[in-house]
Structure 1
């Protein structure tokens, strides 16, 4: 999800880019779209994130230059390879997101950081946000690269399934 730097309230507008294998029933034809559940790229421009019932929260880790248009962002994310079914290690929307983060870093829009620590940070944040109204976390949290060393106490080797499509560890 790409959002303006200063964004808040119900009028907030964001752009959402992801890889999905979701299928749904077409309400007109009553036929299933994507019955083989193939991976496809989804782009949603100018959406209100507060209307997405599945969104737990957002972690900010970089900044897209203001001069980059939504069409350019769409093209950028569209060029990230989709996951491939029946591969080892298994590929998923998570591996696609990791590849997207790597591409953002390569573009210079985010600093380099340990993807394992980022994933742990994001999972801990998501777990806390699942508390709903009891959560102590805000709906937007910044990943502080300067303090990333304090986020994970011990280094563990990556599992085979934590290697992304780009071959980078994460």
Structure 2
């Protein structure tokens, strides 16, 4: 069974991808308490540094980046310990997991993160969703037809809220 990032693990996020000049953002849209909401998130890959071998995708609410940086455990490096301030999404088979650092009063469904990664970032988004193994999980190529990709992602993640550690 693949290793899934757990509470207590440390992860590394490349600094240039997290608010730096090579960073990418997506807008997540959802409905909550009968009103439409949206929020911008940085999206980048992470690598588990302790507790197991794994990599994945992390979404960081853009106006919460300073809060995340305050949690650094290494001087100039972006290494963080996973604690209850992170949430996660995972596929139904529980073989792939992504992380979210945001205001936990926001309740978007899991697929609200993965869908815009595919559609908004196009070919660039492929490098972010590769750790989610959409081709292996869903039988689609994320670099291929984005409409088909979004539909297949929705089938895998639809209706599930983020999980808390």
TM-score higher than 0.5 here? no
Higher strand proportion: 2
* TM-score normalised by the chain length of structure 2: 0.33
* TM-score normalised by the chain length of structure 1: 0.32
